[in-house]
Structure 1
Amino acid sequence: MKLLITGGAGFVGSSLAIALKKNYPDYTIYCLDNLKRRGSELNISRLKQAGVEFVHGDIRSKEDFDALPAVDTVIEASAEPSVLAGLDGTPDYLINTNLFGTVNCLNYALKHKAAFIFLSTSRIYPIKTLETLNFKEGETRFELIDEQPVPGVSTKGIAENFPLDGARSLYGTTKLASELIIQEYNEFYGLKTVINRCGVITGPWQMGKIDQGVMVLWIAKHYFEQQLAYIGYGGTGKQTRDMLHVDDLYRLIDWQLHNLDTVNGEILNAGGGVECSASLQELTKICQDVTGKTIPIRQVTENRAADIRLYITDNTKVTALTGWKPEKTMQDIVSDIHVWLDENRAALEPILK
């Protein structure tokens, strides 16, 4: 099998590529990346060592696709992933990458009759609707309840039939627009596709920032003994997310790659679920336990733009269809990232500290 992974030097793309090559050494895997995100350059040597072919290119450029050989499947893992991207200025890079870049990927797949696996995001769900859901406030976290004003939400989390009307951030909008175009290519061009609406993905080799990759950021700040802040929702740190270890995501993509007819045309939520979720307050406690360090955490009561109080993925559909469910716990995730920081401190300190 021959595969192209876009965003292939990014956290998710490189993790998938290296795991696939390890498990299927006879596969030819190309990783395309423009190396815009700081730290992605560290993955080039990792890819080469694994036997993956790195191609320096940009999905915004049709010409960069013309130079690529034919493949059997495209895994579209490229994105400008920041929820805040475009809010403080021009959204051109965001739109050209996340929307028009996806169109270039689709046309390349169509040209070679390749299957198409798309990594979308839970951020396609509208902010205001999420923010007006019924919840209860526990001692350490906010929690969803079953009685809700809209469909697609329960104590299990957010399901695929959650309403899509409303604003969701420019990032979420470009990903949703890509989803709609992918469905057209599936229906009218016969392209085999599957869309995965991923929750918060995390794990070793993610270069965490405040607006994307908060899990790694949180652990790194503890590791390097710096300061953090609970921002918004009264500054209590009760806002809650589920976390998906990139190893668990790999298991899903691996299954889809080899059973594409079963998931062809599907849209699937995929995240850590209730079982692998934590509030910032709870995450802080796990970080203290794993790192053995306690750091100062400021309280900022004002909410940040495009933030949400609570998001948990309901994996019911994807589990029923594929048998997949996450295996890594929150403790596993923090421990794995802590070991990675320890083993690569010299390279990571200038980026994450």
Structure 2
Amino acid sequence: MKILITGGAGFVGSALAIALKQNYPHYQVLALDNLKRRGSELNLSRLKAAGVEFTHGDIRSKEDFDALPAVDAVIEASAEPSVLAGLDGTPDYLINTNLFGTVNCLNYALKHKANFIFLSTSRVYPIKTIETLNFVEEATRFALSDEQPVPGVSAKGIAENFPLDGARSLYGTTKLASELLIQEYNEFYGLRTVINRCGVLTGPWQMGKVDQGVMVLWIAKHYFQQQLGYFGYGGTGKQIRDMLHVADLYRLIDWQLHHLDQVNGEILNVGGGLESSASLQELTQVCQEVTGHTIPIKAVAETRTADIRLYVTDNTKVTNLTGWKPEIGIRRIVEDITAWLAENEKDLAPILK
């Protein structure tokens, strides 16, 4: 099998590329990336050592695809992933990458009749609707109630039939627009596709920032003994997310590559689920235990733009269709990332400290 991974030097793309090459040494795995995100250059030596073929290119450029060979499958893992991207009034890079870049990926896949696996985001679900959901305030977290004002949500989390009306961030909108185009290519061009709406992805080699990669950011601040803050929702740190280790995501993508007929045309919510969820307050406790460091955390009551109180993925559909479910919990995620920080401290300190 020949596979192209766009965003192949990014956190998710490089993890998938390296794992695929390790598990299928006879596969040809190509990684395409423009290396815009700081830290992605650190993955080049890792890709080379694994036998992944790297091409410096940009999905915004149709000409960059013309130089690529035919492949059997495309994994579209490229994106400007920040939920705050474009909110400063300059959304051009965001839209050109996340929407028009996806069109170039689709046309390349169509040209070679390649299967198309798309990594979308839970951010396609509207902010205001999520913020009006019924919840209970527990000792260390907010939790979803079973009784809700809209379909597609329960105490287990948010499912694929959650309403899509309303604003969701420019980032979420570009990904949803891409999803709509992918469905058209599937229906009218016969392109075989699957869309994965991923929750919070994390793991080693993610260059965490405030607006994207919060898990790594939180652990790194503990590791390097720097300050953090509980922002919004009263400053209590009770806002909750589920976390999916990239190794768990890889197991699903591996399955989809080899069984695409069984999920062709599907949209799947993919995340850590309730079992691998944590509030910032709970995450802080685990970070303290694993790193041995207690750091100052300020409380800021004011809620930030585009933030949400809680998001947990309901994995029922993807589990029923594929048998997949996440296996790596919060504590092991923290342990993995802490070990990675210790092993690569010299290279990572300038980026994460």
TM-score (norm 2): 1.00
- CA shift, 1:152, in A, is 0.1
SS for the counterpart of 1:43 is: helix
AA matched with 1:266: E
Equivalent residue for 2:31?
Answer: 31
Residue by residue, what CA displacement relative to the aligned partner does 1:41-75 show, whole Å, maximum 9, x if unpaired?
00000000000000000000000000000000000
Task: Quote the Cα distance in structure 1 between the aligned partners of 2:287 and 2:89.
Answer: 35
1:279 aligns with 2:279: yes
Counterpart for residue 184 of structure 2: 184
Q: Distance in 2 between matches of 1:53 and 1:67?
A: 14
Q: Is residue 2:6 matched to residue 1:3?
A: no
Match of 1:126 in 2: 126
How far does the alpha carbon of each residue in 1:218-242 deviate from its partner, in whole angstroms, 9 at most, with x for none? Answer: 0000000000000000000000000
Q: Which amino acid aligns with 2:92?
A: D
Write out the 4+ residue segments of structure 1 that deviate beyond 2 Å after TM superposition: none
> Using the alignment, how far apart are the partners of 1:300 and 1:84 within structure 2?
19
Paired position in structure 2 for 1:91: 91
Distance 1:299 1:316 in 2: 35
CA-based RMSD:
0.3
State the 1:89 CA deviation.
Answer: 2.6
Which consecutive unaligned segments of at least 5 residues does structure 1 have? none
Deviations 1:245-296 (A, max 9, x none): 0000000000000000000000000000000000000000000000000000
Secondary structure at 1:206 match in 2: coil
The residue that corresponds to 1:22 in the other structure is: 22
Please name the residue that 1:342 is paired with.
342
* Counterpart for residue 44 of structure 2: 44
What SS class does the counterpart of residue 18 from structure 2 fall into? helix
| 1:284-303 alignment, distance < 5 Å | 284-303=284-303
Deviation at 1:88, TM superposition (A): 1.3
Secondary structure of 2:40's match? Answer: coil
- Identical columns (%): 83
Gaps of 5+ in 2: none
What secondary structure, in the 3-state scheme, does the structure 2 residue paired with 1:117 have?
strand
- Tell me how far apart the structure 2 counterparts of residues 93 and 83 of structure 1 sit (CA, whole Å): 13
SS in 2 for 1:41: helix
- 1:156-175 alignment, distance < 5 Å: 156-175=156-175
Paired position in structure 1 for 2:143: 143
1:21 and 1:206 map into 2 onto residues whose CA distance is 20
Name 2:264's counterpart in structure 1. Answer: 264
Alignment correspondent of 1:109: 109
Alignment of 1:154-233 (within 5 A): 154-233=154-233
Distance 1:209 1:145 in 2: 30
Q: Give the Cα–Cα distance (whole angstroms) in 1 for the partners of residues 257 and 118 of structure 2.
A: 11
Partner Cα distance (2:115, 2:256) in 1: 10
Cα distance in 2 for residues equivalent to 1:17 and 1:349 = 25
Aligned to 1:254: 254
**Partner amino acid for 2:77?**
A
Q: In structure 1, what is the Cα distance between the partners aligned to 2:89 and 2:328? A: 38
C-alpha distance in 2 between matches for 1:22 and 1:119: 21
Aligned equivalents of 1:21 and 1:140: distance in 2? 41
C-alpha distance in structure 2 between counterparts of 1:279 and 1:113, whole Å: 43
CA–CA separation in structure 2 for the residues paired with 1:73 and 1:89: 35
The answer for the alignment partner of 1:328 in structure 2 is: 328
